[in-house]
Structure 1
Amino acid sequence: MSNAIDDTRRLLSLVAYLRERPGTQLDDVARAFGLPVTQVEADLGTLHMCGTSFMADDLLEPHVDFEGRVFLDNADAPVRPVRLAPHEALALLVALRALAGLSGLRERDKVALGRVTAKLEDAAGEAARAAEGVTVEFEGDDAAQESAFATMDRAVSEKRRLRLRYYVPRRDEITEREVDPIRLVLVDGHTYLVAWCRQAEGRRLFRLDRVAEAVLLDEASEPQPIEPLDLADGFAPTAADGIEVVLELGPGGRWVTEYYRYDKVEELADGGLRLTLRTPDPAGIRRLALRLGGHGRVISPPELVDDVRRTASAALAAYAE
């Protein structure tokens, strides 16, 4: 199963391939990309909806003739200069200036943003003057995430070590650690830093919205040589040597899927979920069950069910005293 990034790369490559090789046989296109013919046909169907707008003249026009040859008509539409309306130029200028104000940006990125902004200002005329009266300020979590992303991106680029303060949901605590960054990835709509954690002495993934603070250090990043992480199908299941746990979550407990990796999920009739996961830390699942209260329960293994029941009973007894 591919993800959105892989699909986009493949479609862009297909456009370039067909522009350079009009009339290539469908079978040969599939062979060149290492894909089944059915996938290429599906991609051509997707390209029918691609272009600079949904006006007919702005869309790509792929088709296969009766001899099985593939052509891509109107292929120059996406590369024609785009004419911005005044309100579009205004919005773009405001966004560029807000982006340039983020802390942690690499110097070459600041230079590139400055050049793009200057060219757009020259072309935008009145919209550029209107944009000067608009300011954008990032507040709260948004500001923290933007700053952390810029700092992590810089660390990856400059090969420098990071100190992170990171929220670990299964322990409900913030930890501090030094990491050697490897790369930034986007998986299932979330941004992650792939890094070598010097505390755990292993590769770890740190989700952007759980980074409380990222500090760029002067030490050089020295990640250990490890096999590249394949995220084409999202995350791999949790530790294979852990125990298998089944949870039933009510509608109020669906948030668990955002914070815990799992092997399988099933929808329940009441709007809840049945979640199967593996964990080397049963105590963490016990704490999760207590946090869930009436919004979730452990179904198996039996020993963990009993452990949660005993802990909950002891907590209620202590509260009654």
Structure 2
Amino acid sequence: MANAIDQTRRMLSLVTYLRERPGARVTDVARAFGVTEAELIGDLNVLPLCGTSFRGGDLLDIDTDGERIWWHNVDDVAQPLRLAADEATALLVAARAVANLPGLRDSDRQALLRATAKLETAAGEVAAASSQLSVTFESEGSVFADVDRAIAERRRVWIRYYSPARDALTEREVDPIRLFAVGHTYFEGWCRLSEDRRTFRLDRVAEIKLLDEPSDPPRIEPRDLSLGLVQPAGDDPEVVIEVGPGGRWVAEYYPYDSADELPDGGLRISLRTPDPGSLRRLALRLGRDGRIVSPADLADRAREAAVLALAAYGE
């Protein structure tokens, strides 16, 4: 399973490949890069956000009709890159920060340092100015590096993980499978505690250690995340929530079956979830902006949790 760095390498090669093969067939390109067509389409959805300027201009105009891939502005972005002072500064600062990231593979670190040295030479005086700036990563960056290294070296990890649904920290050993981003950054792995596939949000990993135990997850089909991280099944329990105007964001954040307008400008939202109890925290967050209508037992539990929360504040 490709990790984030492998995907970046593939996408850089993909640019060169497509430039030399206008109208290339999706099936041929996927076969050449050893990925599924769905993975290739995912790369093609990212490439139009890339280009030769940090300011948003000169982006890659690449699209596909599902059968062939077309790059419409090859000549426009093929000119030699000329970095402005702020662009060169941003690149140098970011490169130095990443080079110091804990857990980065030594080969990647050395390659990055070589590229940084070349950029410093080309940037001239700008390089000196950029040396006065620095960036430090929070814990999530360190977790990303450790998971990425574990995937590359096929090693198991031990984590202390916060579960908001249970409001508890758990310790578990996990065989990491892949890193991905859907709003937040996650890693997917085979959890030895639950003996099942689990997804972990990086900013909820309180502590992580690489183990000497080899990673040996069972062969599992990767999930298609194009429709989002949470994809409820048709037989999941139905929950109905009514929100006021201040709670309309729920329909943007949660996948739902229906969202009907209410006279006060709010919504009556019907959604499905394999764990209705996890929505109790949503009810507390909404406060006066919303309430759970059904199922009745979930509404009662949410109401009891609100009473206990208010009691803790002496209200």
Cα contact 1:265–1:273 (8 A) shared by 2:
no
Would the alpha carbon gap of residues 247 and 91 (structure 1) be closer, same or farther in structure 2, given more than 3 Å must change? same
Residue identity opposite 1:88 in structure 2:
E
2:290 is the alignment partner of 1:296: yes
**What displacement does 1:89 show?**
1.6
What are the residue-to-residue correspondences of 1:135-284 with 2, within 5 Å? Answer: 135-138=134-137, 143-187=138-182, 189-238=183-232, 242-250=236-244, 262-264=255-257, 266=259, 274-284=268-278
Residue identity opposite 2:163 in structure 1:
V
**What displacement does 1:181 show?**
0.4
| Separation in structure 2 between the aligned mates of residue 72 and residue 280 of structure 1, nearest angstrom | 42
After TM superposition, the score normalised by the length of structure 1 is 0.69
**Matched residue, 2:93:** 94
Q: How many residues align?
A: 283
Cα distance per residue 1:279-301 (max 9 Å; x no partner): 44444444553454323311112
**What displacement does 1:106 show?**
1.6
**Matched residue, 1:77:** 76
| Separation in structure 2 between the aligned mates of residue 216 and residue 61 of structure 1, nearest angstrom | 41
Cα distance per residue 1:14-58 (max 9 Å; x no partner): 99557535xx7xxx9799899xxxxxxxx9xx98x986369xx96
Question: Aligned with 1:127: secondary structure?
Answer: helix
Cα distance per residue 1:109-156 (max 9 Å; x no partner): 211111111111121111112222222234xxxx11111111111111
2:44 is the alignment partner of 1:20: no
Cα contact 1:286–1:307 (8 A) shared by 2:
yes
Residue identity opposite 2:117 in structure 1:
A
| Separation in structure 1 between the aligned mates of residue 98 and residue 176 of structure 2, nearest angstrom | 23
Question: Aligned with 2:190: secondary structure?
Answer: strand
Residue identity opposite 2:21 in structure 1:
E
Would the alpha carbon gap of residues 88 and 244 (structure 1) be closer, same or farther in structure 2, given more than 3 Å must change? same
After TM superposition, the score normalised by the length of structure 2 is 0.70
| Separation in structure 2 between the aligned mates of residue 104 and residue 14 of structure 1, nearest angstrom | 28
Q: % of aligned pairs identical?
A: 53
Would the alpha carbon gap of residues 17 and 110 (structure 1) be closer, same or farther in structure 2, given more than 3 Å must change? closer
Which structure 2 segments of 5+ residues have no match? 1-6, 31-43, 63-68
The higher radius of gyration belongs to 1
**Matched residue, 1:305:** 299
Would the alpha carbon gap of residues 257 and 133 (structure 1) be closer, same or farther in structure 2, given more than 3 Å must change? same
Would the alpha carbon gap of residues 274 and 75 (structure 1) be closer, same or farther in structure 2, given more than 3 Å must change? same
**Matched residue, 2:52:** 52
